[in-house]
Amino acid sequence: MINGILLLDKPKNISSNKALYIVKKKLLPKKAGIVGILDPLASGMLPIVLNEGTKLAKYIECEDKEYLVVAKLGYMSTTGDAEGIISAFQNAKPISLTKKFLQESINKFLGPQEQIPPMYSGLKVNGIKLYKLARQGKSIKRKPRNINISSLKVLSIENDEISLRISCSKGTYIRTLVESIGYSLGTGAYTKELRRIRIGSLYENSMITLDEISTDQNCIISLEELTKNMISMLISDSEWKLLKQGQIVHTSIYKNINEIAIKNQNSDLIGLGTIIDNYIHVKRLINFDE
């Protein structure tokens, strides 16, 4: 059974759920899920967790993400991207930007900040997804979210289109950031193209296309690889039995550690846990024999 993470290079013009359906049809996992949905018009890294890999989803979704973005200036979109109704930005300033001027202008968007999620998003309010309300012409008040833009680099300027490389925290809406940049420049802007190229330590060179998917384990990132930066703890078979029964196990490590990779005597990953006051507590058990 395949256990781990498949880094799919999702093509444009299909939904993330459609991509997941295709993967499941090819690999036939018992369990599978998406970590970090991409809009249909976006492409790039779509992590799909398979079987026991579903237990490590949260360790992926909380990581920073990196995108390549093409923003079109002088226009606005009802959805913030090319899927919406496009209109010219009212009283837009003439577009004549140098790379240096643009970089200096957008540097103010770096760092921790609050961002109000767009109406065209999958967030739920009172059990209803915002985009469903938006399609009905409704707009409701949304709570701002704390985000962080760690890197924002201008790659090129060509006529009314600018290419950016953006690194940001979980929960950041690139469409909203691009709109804010457009407002600040006095030109308006929407996201014409969006491609995700990194999540945490997962890079685009590990991605595969839908056509390349096979049961070959070489295309799967193992759970051991995902937890390689965690402190690991070897335990005996008797200790493993206690942990499986929901009990805690004493350890000589005196400091508290929030995340550890629990391994058997063969150094195989068998669980994730924490150390509190000299005792190992299990967070997740991993069973590769299921």
Torsion sign over Cα 227, 233, 236, 241 = negative
Q: Which ranges constitute the DSSP H helices of 86-166?
A: 99-106, 130-135
Q: Which ranges constitute the DSSP H helices of the chain?
A: 16-27, 58-61, 99-106, 130-135, 174-185, 223-226, 237-244
In a domain, 290, yes or no: no
Catalytic residues: 39
Of the given ranges (7-21, 49-63, 165-179), which has the lowest mean pLDDT? 49-63
For residues 120, 123, 127, 128, the Cα torsion angle rounded to the nearest 10 degrees is: 10
Q: Looking at the structure, do residues 214 and 190 belong to the same domain, yes or no? A: no
Residue 11 confidence (pLDDT) above 60: yes
Residue 237 confidence (pLDDT) above 80: yes
In a domain, 56, yes or no: yes
Q: Looking at the structure, do residues 29 and 58 belong to the same domain, yes or no? A: yes
Who wins on pLDDT, 122 or 4?
4
- Average pLDDT of the residues in 204-224: 86
For 55, the token pair is: 């237990």
* Contact assessment for residue 182 and residue 89, using Cβ atoms and an 8 Å cutoff: yes
Q: Looking at the structure, do residues 235 and 136 belong to the same domain, yes or no? A: no
In a domain, 32, yes or no: yes
CB atoms within 10 A of CB 35: 23
What per-residue confidence (pLDDT) applies to 166?
A: 98
Q: Looking at the structure, do residues 83 and 192 belong to the same domain, yes or no? A: yes
What is the residue range of 164's domain?
65-199
Helix H or strand E encompassing 188: none
Residue 188 confidence (pLDDT) above 70: yes
Confidence class of residue 218 from pLDDT cuts 50, 70 and 90? confident
- The neighbouring-strand residues paired with 280 are 249, 275
Please give the Cα distance from 53 to 94 (Å, whole number). Answer: 51
What per-residue confidence (pLDDT) applies to 288?
A: 66
Q: Looking at the structure, do residues 97 and 136 belong to the same domain, yes or no? A: yes
pLDDT tens digits, residue range 266-280? 888 888 999 999 899
In a domain, 251, yes or no: yes
Residue 45 confidence (pLDDT) above 90: yes
Confidence class of residue 69 from pLDDT cuts 50, 70 and 90? very high
Who wins on pLDDT, 160 or 123?
160
Q: Looking at the structure, do residues 44 and 80 belong to the same domain, yes or no? A: no
CATH of the domain at 265: 2.30.130.10
In a domain, 240, yes or no: yes
Confidence class of residue 289 from pLDDT cuts 50, 70 and 90? low
Q: Looking at the structure, do residues 220 and 235 belong to the same domain, yes or no? A: no
Amino acid of residue 61 = E
Domain count, the chain: 3
Q: Looking at the structure, do residues 16 and 114 belong to the same domain, yes or no? A: no
Average per-residue pLDDT in the chain? 91
Q: Looking at the structure, do residues 21 and 76 belong to the same domain, yes or no? A: no
What per-residue confidence (pLDDT) applies to 20?
A: 96
Q: Looking at the structure, do residues 125 and 212 belong to the same domain, yes or no? A: no
Q: Looking at the structure, do residues 70 and 109 belong to the same domain, yes or no? A: yes
pLDDT tens digits, residue range 97-150? 899 999 999 999 999 999 998 888 888 888 888 888 888 888 888 889 999 999
Taking the model in full, what pTM does it have? 0.89
Q: Looking at the structure, do residues 192 and 234 belong to the same domain, yes or no? A: no
